[in-house]
Structure formats: C-alpha cells, structure tokens
Structure 1
Amino acid sequence: MAERGPIAFVVDDEPAMADIVGFALETQGFETALFTSAETAWNELQTSRPDLVVLDVMLPGISGITLCRRIKARWDIPVILVTAKGEVSDRIAGLEAEADDYIAKPFHPRELALRAQRLVRRSESAGALMTASGGIELDPSSHDMIIGNERVLLTANEFKILSALMSRPGVILSFAQLLLLGWGESDRIGEREMIKAAIYRIRHKLDAAVPGSAAVIESVRGTGYILRAQP
C-alpha cells in the first residue's frame, strides 16, 4: 500500500480558486479537502487534523484571520494565508494571528506548493530539546519553553523567534536574520512589528515563570536582539 501524502485543508469561498490551490498541492503529493467557509473547516478540525491549512483571508462569516487565530490557539498546524495583492494590513494581521506564511494573489501555483512542502517538512522535523545558557530549554514536540522547572507554552511565532536566538547565543541577530533563521526568509512586510511583539510576549512569559529571567534577551537599539546568559 502506498504511503499517504500530507493532508491539506484548503479554505476558500471561490470554488475556482480552491480548485487551483488544491490541484497545485496535489501535484506535490498532498491530499486535499476543500471548504467554502471558515465554519465548515473549523467543524471538521474538531475531528480531523490536517498537516497544513491554506486559508483565504476574505471569507464570508468568520474571516480567515479569525480562523487562523483559533487554529493556532489550539494546535500546532502550519497555516498559509492567501491575501489580496497589496493588502499590507491583511499580511500584518495574519502574522499577528501566528500564520506561518502568506502568499498574495495572483500567485504561481507551484510557488504555493513549494511553500507548503517547506512548512510541512519543518513541522515534521521537530527533534530533541534545545538548550541555551541561562537555563532555557525548548521542546519542539510541544512548543513548550522550560525554565526553572516550569513548562510554558509558546505560540508558533514565539517559538520560532526564541529558537533563532538560542541557535546563536551571544550573537546579535538583526530583524532580517531572525526572519531568515525562523522562516527561511530575509524580507517580510511587518517584520519588525511581528518580532517586537513576540519578544515582548516571550519576556513576559519568562518573568512570569522565573522573575528577572527576561533579562536573558536584550534588545540592541535599531538592530535586533541578543540572547545572553543570566548573571
């Protein structure tokens, strides 16, 4: 029996666009399920867990942004948002909702499929604990941060940014470098706002677990961030 490919949910209220996305993914080995509304996709997610969700931002009823936020609050499922060309606000909102990637219309179907493959491979490659000086550990299997015997759940974006910092301890990482290490890209609209917001939340979670531990992450004015050992 042939091994099944990764499963992708495609959510788009335009049947023609859903068919294009579905066909592009299937040519790269995905199995797809198509949904015309966020509500129907959400209902299916209660009993089925795909390897990827490709989600149009503009949907009737519940928006794609809202559905993305709901998914990320409960599961570590990669999400690609499909946005209208030039809608910068949609892209920034999607990144704030923890979307893993976005692609603007019109797009080349093969580009979408390759982005999807990359996200699924990255999701499947979660390995052992990552440890940094300062007593922080990351558990890729659960997206937990472990510090002071406390387990703290990180969002997808928080996990990626902290992983990038922990992979280069003592090195100043620019916003572009954090994007490259976390997402495989060096240029993304809204990058600074997304990273600053994630760092703020990470620091808050660190201090809530072990007071004063947020000092391990230092900002470098106008440049980026550095992970240092605690005194």
Structure 2
Amino acid sequence: MLRRMPKVLIAEDEAAIADAVLYALRSEGLEAEHCLLGREVLPRVRAGGIDVVVLDVGLPDTNGFDVCRELRGFSDVPVIFLTARNDEIDRVLGLELGADDYMAKPFSPRELVARVRARLRRPRSAEPAWSERGAFAIDRDGHRIRYHGHALDLTRYEYALLAALLQRPGAILTRAQLMDRGWDDAADSGDRTIDTHIKTLRAKLRAAGMAVGKDNADPIRTHRGLGYSLEA
C-alpha cells in the first residue's frame, strides 16, 4: 500500500503569498490545499486528511485567532500562524490558543516548509474519543461538548447536566436524577439550582445554534412536574 503524503492546508487571502507557499511545499514533495476564508478551514479539517494548517491571522471574513480557538475544540492538528505584525502580544495570544508556531511577514517560504516538516516529525497525541449524538458531540474524557460543530464554553455543572441528558436522549430525567449525576453536594441543593443552570445552558445552546443560522435552537424540553429531556 502506498503511503499517503502529508497534506498542508493554507488559509491565506494574499494570492502572491499563497502561490509562493504552495509552490515551496509542493516542490518539497508535500501535498497542499489553499482556501481564502476562515470559514472554509473548520469543515475542511473535519473532513480529514489535513496534517498541518498554515493560518493567516488577518483573513477577510474573520481572524485566525477565532478559527484556531474553534479548531482546538475538536482537533489537535498543528497550526502555524502567519501575520503581518510581529507584536509579542499576538505571538503569546496565538500560542495560548493552541497554535504550534508563528511566522511574521515577510518570511521565507523555504523556512516555512522547514517549520512544517518539523511539526510533521513530532508525534501527534491521540485524537479525543468524540461520541456523536445528532447535532452534539461529546468527549467525556476531556469534559467537552460541541453543538452544531461549535465548542461550548460550559461550567462544571452545565457540562454535568448536558452530559447526563445526552446519555439518555429523549428520556425525561427528574431534577433529583440530574442533581445526583452532577452535584457532589446534591443533598444541600434544591430544584431551583437545576432550573438556573438549565436556563444558562439553554442560552449557550441558542447562541451556538444562531452561529450556524439555526434561530431558537433549544433542544432541551421542559416537562412540568417531571423534569427535563433532550432532543439530540
């Protein structure tokens, strides 16, 4: 069986830079793809087969920092930032968001290829064990949940509630059952505690849904006198 060549995805809106990088990568025997917009990066990485992402910070539709933040919600693919600025605060922010390297323009395409190869030589950690539940995906080991592809920024208790509902989609769970599954001090908490966290959880789900054009996205159902269920 032939070995697959590593593939690099370049997100860069300046044609001259993109062409130079594509040529340099392909000349070194690497496969390369090019996209102009940040919104094209996430679905392409989700589709698989991308080994390194070269990501311009200043894309026309969004900035590379936001793309990297969402990318790290579901993938550990190496990311190398390109930027027209060389400010230390930008470098620090990029690395804190999970980027692996940072190059300021103008740069040498040959040096970029060398940095790409350096990332390819480093062993990748195992991909998280995401479990799909309709519009949801959950990584129970990492205590992370995605909704319509968006990583949710959840508190400990919001995560516990949503994970419990996802474990039994469609089933009605009473407030006591939800409390038992997510609260260490369940005996000292009341029904209002669950209701309050459900309210904030719903707001985050709606915001994630609206980000992909799904208005009023609220999969949590209230069953008066009984509890809550989830339409996954």
Partner of 1:153: 142
Q: CA deviation at 1:74?
A: 0.6
Change (3 A) 1:47 1:86: closer
The percent identity for this pair of structures is 38
Partner of 1:75: 75
CA distance in 2: counterparts of 1:6 and 1:65, whole angstroms: 24
SS of 2:25's equivalent in the other structure is helix
- Is the Cα contact below 8 Å between 1:11 and 1:54 reproduced in 2? yes
Partner of 2:121: 121
- Is the Cα contact below 8 Å between 1:57 and 1:90 reproduced in 2? no
SS of 1:73's equivalent in the other structure is coil
Q: Which has the larger radius of gyration?
A: 2
Q: CA deviation at 1:60?
A: 1.3
- Is the Cα contact below 8 Å between 1:83 and 1:91 reproduced in 2? no
Partner of 2:53: 53
Partner of 1:182: none
- Is the Cα contact below 8 Å between 2:55 and 2:64 reproduced in 1? yes
Q: CA deviation at 1:87?
A: 2.6
CA distance in 2: counterparts of 1:143 and 1:48, whole angstroms: 14
Question: Are residue 24 (structure 1) and residue 24 (structure 2) matched?
Answer: yes
Q: CA deviation at 1:49?
A: 3.5
Change (3 A) 1:116 1:16: same
Question: Are residue 64 (structure 1) and residue 53 (structure 2) matched?
Answer: no
CA distance in 1: counterparts of 2:83 and 2:77, whole angstroms: 19
Q: Can you list the C-alpha shifts for 1:28-49, whole angstroms capped at 9, x where unaligned?
A: 2210110000112223233234
Structural mapping, 1:32-181, within 5 Å: 32-122=32-122, 125-126=123-124, 140-142=125-127, 152-153=141-142
Q: CA deviation at 1:89?
A: 2.6
Q: CA deviation at 1:85?
A: 3.8
Q: CA deviation at 1:152?
A: 4.8
- How does the TM-score come out when normalised to structure 2? 0.52
SS of 1:13's equivalent in the other structure is coil
Q: When the two structures are aligned, how many residues end up with a matched partner?
A: 134
Deviant stretches of 4+, over 6 Å: none
Q: CA deviation at 1:115?
A: 0.5
Structure 2 unmatched runs, 5+: 130-139, 144-232
- Is the Cα contact below 8 Å between 1:85 and 1:106 reproduced in 2? no
SS of 1:46's equivalent in the other structure is helix
* RMSD, aligned CA: 2.4
The amino acid across from 1:55 in the alignment is: L
Change (3 A) 1:27 1:13: same
- How does the TM-score come out when normalised to structure 1? 0.52
Q: CA deviation at 1:96?
A: 1.6
The amino acid across from 1:105 in the alignment is: K
